[in-house]
C-alpha cells in the first residue's frame, strides 16, 4: 500500500472511531469556504488555487470549495471563530497571537479551538514610498502621510504592532490613510499619500503597480531599532526582497517576514480536512504553478514551519502517513 493509500486507510479508521462525536460543520455535499483577502493580493489567488485542486475531485469526495474575498488576516480569524468560514488564510504572526491570546483580539481570549492545516509562501513586510517624498528609512515615515491598510488586514495589524514596539502612535504621522491593498497603489501614485505598507509575498502585482505607474522605491527596514524589535520577536525572521524584482529597485531590500498559513478549527470534519490536504500535497506542483510567489513551496516546510496552533488531527494523520511528521 502506498503512502496515499495508508493515509486514506488511517482517515477511514479515524472517522469510524469518532463517528457521532464531531459536529457536522459542512453539510449536504460538504460545501466549504476559505477566507482569503483582496483580489489584488496573494491570499485570494492562493485560496482559489486550493479550491480548484479540491474541486477537481469533487465527483469522488463530494466536497465543493469556494474562496471568499475578505479584508485580510484579522478579519479571517474573526470569521473563522464566528463560524462564517470553514478555513482561513492568515499571517503566521497573527495565527500565533490569536491562538495564544492577545489584548488586541477578543479581549485577550485565546482562540484555543484553532487548528493549523499547513503553511505556505513567505510574506515580507514591505514599505513603498514615492521617490520624491524624501523617504529612505523606516524612521523617515514620521511626519509623513502613510497608508497603513484597512481595518481587519494583517498588514495594518502588523504595522500597529511595530509602531507600538517603537513607541509610535497615529500622531507620529501627518496623516494616516486606511485604504485596502487593492486601492493603495493607485492612491500612492495619485499623490494622496507619501508611503504605503504591505505584508505580501513577492513578486506582488500591487507593488509592481506602484513601481511602474509612478516613480516609487522600496524602503529597507534595517535600522538598529527595527532590528532589535525583529530579533526580540520569535514571530518574525530577517529576510529581504530580491534585487531587480521591481522597476527602479536594483538592490536587495532588507526587511522582516513571516508566512501565510491555512487554519481551521478543531471541529472541522476529518473527511474535509483530509481531502483538502490530500489534494494539495498529492499535486503540489499545481499549486506552485498558480503564482510565481508559490514556486518555492516545499512540503516539509509547509508542514513543519510557522505554525503555533496544533495541526488538525486529520492533517496530522496524513502528514505522518506521508512521513512528513514523526509518528511518535
Q: What is the DSSP letter of 168?
A: -
Whether 123-258 and 3-122+259-321 are alike in CATH topology: the answer is: yes
Cβ-based neighbour number of residue 12 at 10 Å: 13
User: pTM value?
Assistant: 0.86
Residue 140 φ/ψ, nearest 5 degrees: -70, -10
Q: Let me know if 169 is exposed, middle or buried by CB neighbors in 10 A (0-12, 13-18, 19+).
A: exposed
The CATH H-level superfamily of 123-258 is Periplasmic binding protein-like II (3.40.190.10)
> Whats the size of the chain, residue-wise?
328
Alpha-carbon distances of 208 from 40, 155, 326, rounded to whole Å: 11, 17, 41
Contact 107, 291 (CB under 8 A): no
The string of DSSP codes covering 18-41 is: TTTTS---S-TTTEEEEE---TTS
pLDDT of residue 215: 94
For domain 3-122+259-321, the CATH class is alpha beta
Asked if the model's pLDDT at residue 6 lies above 70, the reply is: no
**Domain map (residue ranges) of the chain:** 3-122+259-321, 123-258
pLDDT tens, residue by residue, 259-306: 999 999 999 999 999 999 999 999 999 999 999 999 999 999 999 999
pLDDT of residue 102: 79
Contact 252, 221 (CB under 8 A): no
pLDDT of residue 19: 33
Average pLDDT over all residues of the chain: 89
Asked if the model's pLDDT at residue 9 lies above 60, the reply is: no
pLDDT tens, residue by residue, 154-175: 889 899 999 999 999 999 999 9
pLDDT confidence of 10, banded at 50, 70, 90?
very low
Residues 62-71, mean pLDDT to the nearest whole number? 96
Whole-number Å distance between alpha carbons of 267 and 32: 13
Amino acid at each position: 500500500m502506498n503512502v496515499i493509500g495508508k493515509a486514506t486507510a488511517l482517515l477511514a479508521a479515524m472517522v469510524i472511531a469518532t463517528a457521532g462525536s464531531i459536529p457536522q460543520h459542512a453539510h449536504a455535499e460538504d460545501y466549504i469556504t476559505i477566507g482569503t483577502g483582496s483580489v489584488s493580493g496573494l491570499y485570494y489567488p492562493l485560496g482559489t488555487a486550493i479550491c480548484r485542486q479540491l474541486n477537481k475531485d469533487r465527483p469522488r469526495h463530494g466536497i465543493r470549495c469556494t474562496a471568499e474575498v475578505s479584508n485580510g488576516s484579522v478579519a479571517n480569524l474573526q470569521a473563522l471563530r464566528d463560524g462564517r468560514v470553514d478555513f482561513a488564510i492568515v499571517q503566521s504572526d497573527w495565527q500565533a497571537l490569536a491562538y495564544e491570546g492577545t489584548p488586541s483580539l477578543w479581549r485577550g481570549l485565546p482562540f484555543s479551538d484553532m487548528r493549523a492545516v499547513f503553511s505556505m509562501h513567505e510574506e515580507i513586510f514591505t514599505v513603498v514610498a514615492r521617490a520624491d517624498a524624501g523617504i529612505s528609512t523606516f524612521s523617515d515615515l514620521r511626519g509623513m502621510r502613510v497608508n497603513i491598510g484597512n481595518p481587519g488586514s494583517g498588514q495594518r495589524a502588523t504595522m500597529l504592532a511595530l509602531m507600538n514596539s517603537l513607541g509610535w502612535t497615529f500622531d507620529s504621522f501627518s496623516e494616516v490613510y486606511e485604504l485596502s491593498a487593492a486601492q493603495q497603489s493607485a492612491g500612492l501614485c495619485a499623490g494622496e499619500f507619501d508611503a504605503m505598507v504591505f505584508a505580501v509575498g513577492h513578486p506582488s502585482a500591487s507593488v509592481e503597480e506602484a513601481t511602474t505607474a509612478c516613480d516609487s522605491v522600496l524602503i529597507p527596514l534595517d535600522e538598529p531599532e527595527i532590528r532589535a524589535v525583529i530579533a526580540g520577536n520569535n514571530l518574525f525572521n530577517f529576510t529581504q526582497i530580491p534585487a531587480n524584482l521591481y522597476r527602479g529597485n536594483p538592490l536587495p531590500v532588507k526587511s522582516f517576514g513571516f508566512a501565510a498559513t491555512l487554519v481551521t478549527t478543531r471541529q472541522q470534519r476529518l473527511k474535509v480536512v483530509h481531502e483538502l490536504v490530500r489534494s494539495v500535497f498529492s499535486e503540489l506542483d499545481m499549486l506552485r504553478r498558480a503564482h510565481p510567489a508559490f514556486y518555492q513551496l516545499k512540503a516539509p516546510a509547509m508542514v513543519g514551519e510557522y505554525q503555533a496552533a496544533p495541526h488538525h488531527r486529520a492533517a496530522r494523520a496524513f502528514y505522518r502517513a506521508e512521513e512528513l511528521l514523526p509518528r511518535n
